[in-house]
Amino acid sequence: MIQSQTQTQSYWQNRFELTDADVEQIYNHLLEVERPQSAAELAAIVIEHRVAQEKQEIKRRLAGRVVYQPANHYEVGDELVFPALDFAYGTVIGTRPGVNPEAGRFTVIRVEVNGKEREFAADLEYEHVLNRENGSIFEALEMIEADELAELYGDLVADRIAAGLEERDAFLRLGDQWFLQALLTEVNIGHLNLAEAVLDMYGGGPLPPEEILPHLDLGEDVPEATQIFSLNYALLQDNRFDEVGPPGKVGWFLRRMEPQAVREVPGRLVYNPIPYDRSVLTPELRLLESELDDEWSDLEPVKNPQPVVLTLTYPHRWAGTLPLSARTSALFPTGRAARQRIVFIDEDTQEEIVGWVVKEHRYVYGLEAWYQENEIPIGGFINLRPGPETGVVLLGYDRRRAQREWVRLASVDENRIRFSLERCSISCGYDDLLIVGTDYVAAVDALWRRADANNRSIESLLRELFPELAGLNPQQTVHAKTLYSAINMLRRMPPGPLFAELVTNRAFVPVGDHYWQYEAPRS
């Protein structure tokens, strides 16, 4: 079947690029409708324009010419159109007899097409597919439907439109909506001050623009969609406001009323990258690294939201946060906003807890009170599941009857960290290799600040930690997971640099199953 170019997949995948004519078409469309349009809506306009252009071009090529069919007779000087050659056209410049044992006698016509001479059959008596297809070319031309093409290739075209319009100052983008700079309605400083006052009355927000607009009086003659786009654009330019809604929704919040741990990264969560040779990690250590799922590890992220069981580490227990890691990040909104407000729902009590996703720094804030109320220990298991809608996450933990368990507790003596085994009441499932605790938070924090200020090396920290932890068991060994948990009390780091130090430093000797011994250098 002969198809026009716009009906083929290869045209949209391989040949389509946004042209100045397409941009002009989009510009005129936005001027006409006077409201923001999604990339998908603009793609439909461009596809419709391309189809109409092609129809006009084909009709122009057909005008005054004959559609080539092998059964017909042609004379020198006849002008022909060849649909199978992308509707190329040419002039017959010569003829000669042709013979084929199967086809019998026919005529070979020489045609000059695009400056080149080509030969075709004419006066062909037996049935040929081009007699049928070329004969119905006008009907096929009218059957091209832009709506069907938009369904098939609209997403691809929308992506290329977005990339092309990003480079043109006349167009503005908010989320998936596009509009013209020239059509924005004025939102002045007075309007912005009123918007701040409205949000202040509502505890900082979040409020959608539709609830802010009635207080601003941007003009009754301005379409609501234009008012919303103009207000959103103006609020984005003012650092008093944060857009914190999940993808697909817009919600405005006063930045000064966001929790401090959202506006400023808690010190315990700050990771200053530590260079190391990743190639020294054995496959077993890489598997352990994946199991620990630290947000700063270089791991392949899970694409789709799914239930996750994570183990709480000291920095996140201290800060009241969760990691945005390879396994957890798919559960949380991934919009363009730097900070996004979400809701946790406690699966046991159905309590709603406000959370904040801080994408750049890879954490979710808002669980400090929940950790305390439920006495979640470092090393405790936390359950996360996708909620009923975007921006909602179901939260739980491995609830158990409280029992007294042996736990590693940290204390501080002579500016050094010490560890001892103490019985503590635990009512949550936990990883025995990761659980650590302390009743001396302020003193441990002082050690952390000192280690941070002095930029203590991994080796220096391990030489302090290892003997203390090794002394808690007769074998004088420490598991790599325990070292990871403990070292993060003094310096924030993912497992990779720590594991690399264990492998390359001769003072640390592997004894199997990720356990290590420490051989202090002889003086």
- Which helix H or strand E contains 104, and what residues bound it? strand 104-113
| Cis peptide upstream of residue 206 (ω within 30 degrees of 0) | yes
Distance (Å, rounded) from C-alpha 333 to C-alpha 246?
A: 6
Residue 17 lies inside a defined structural domain of this protein: yes
Does residue 19 sit in the same domain as residue 74?
no
Q: What is the bridge-based pairing of β-strands 363-365 and 321-323?
A: antiparallel
CATH classification of the domain holding 340: 2.40.330.10
How many other C-beta atoms are found inside a 10 Å radius of the C-beta of residue 258? Answer: 19
Residue 148 lies inside a defined structural domain of this protein: yes
| Cis peptide upstream of residue 388 (ω within 30 degrees of 0) | no
Residue at which a domain ends, from 257, 279, 294 = 257
Does residue 95 sit in the same domain as residue 14?
no
- Provide the phi-psi class of 194: left if phi over 0, else alpha when psi is between -120 and 50, else beta: alpha
Residue 176 lies inside a defined structural domain of this protein: no
Distance (Å, rounded) from C-alpha 445 to C-alpha 453?
A: 12
CATH classification of the domain holding 93: 2.30.30
3-state per-residue secondary structure call for 199-218: HHHCCCCCECHHHHHHHCCC
CATH classification of the domain holding 486: 1.10.10
Residue at which a domain ends, from 400, 435, 470 = 400
How many other C-beta atoms are found inside a 10 Å radius of the C-beta of residue 439? Answer: 11
- Provide the phi-psi class of 212: left if phi over 0, else alpha when psi is between -120 and 50, else beta: alpha
What's the pLDDT at 135? 46
- Which helix H or strand E contains 523, and what residues bound it? none
How many other C-beta atoms are found inside a 10 Å radius of the C-beta of residue 350? Answer: 7
Residue 178 lies inside a defined structural domain of this protein: no
Tokens of 278: 């990743």
- Which helix H or strand E contains 280, and what residues bound it? none
Does residue 280 sit in the same domain as residue 375?
yes
Does residue 389 sit in the same domain as residue 356?
yes
Distance (Å, rounded) from C-alpha 345 to C-alpha 341?
A: 14
Residue 177 lies inside a defined structural domain of this protein: no
Distance (Å, rounded) from C-alpha 376 to C-alpha 379?
A: 8
CATH classification of the domain holding 225: 1.10.10.10
Q: Judge whether 261 and 269 are in contact, CB under 8 Å.
A: no
Does residue 387 sit in the same domain as residue 432?
no
Does residue 429 sit in the same domain as residue 456?
yes
Does residue 32 sit in the same domain as residue 11?
yes
Q: Which residues of the chain have pLDDT under 70?
A: 1-4, 61-64, 102-103, 126, 128-144, 335, 522-523
What's the pLDDT at 443? 93
Residue 175 lies inside a defined structural domain of this protein: no
Does residue 43 sit in the same domain as residue 166?
yes
- End-to-end Cα distance, the chain: 87
Domain around 41: 5-61+143-170
Residue at which a domain ends, from 208, 227, 257 = 257
What's the pLDDT at 134? 47
Residue 457 lies inside a defined structural domain of this protein: yes
Q: Judge whether 246 and 390 are in contact, CB under 8 Å.
A: yes
Residue 244 lies inside a defined structural domain of this protein: yes
Report which residue type is found at 480.
Answer: A
Q: What is the CA radius of gyration of the chain?
A: 35
Biggest distance spanned by C-alpha atoms of the chain: 109
What's the pLDDT at 62? 66
Does residue 234 sit in the same domain as residue 218?
yes
Does residue 326 sit in the same domain as residue 453?
no
Does residue 53 sit in the same domain as residue 158?
yes
Does residue 194 sit in the same domain as residue 162?
no
What's the pLDDT at 223? 86
What's the pLDDT at 128? 64
Q: How many domains does the chain have?
A: 5
3 state DSSP class of 344: strand
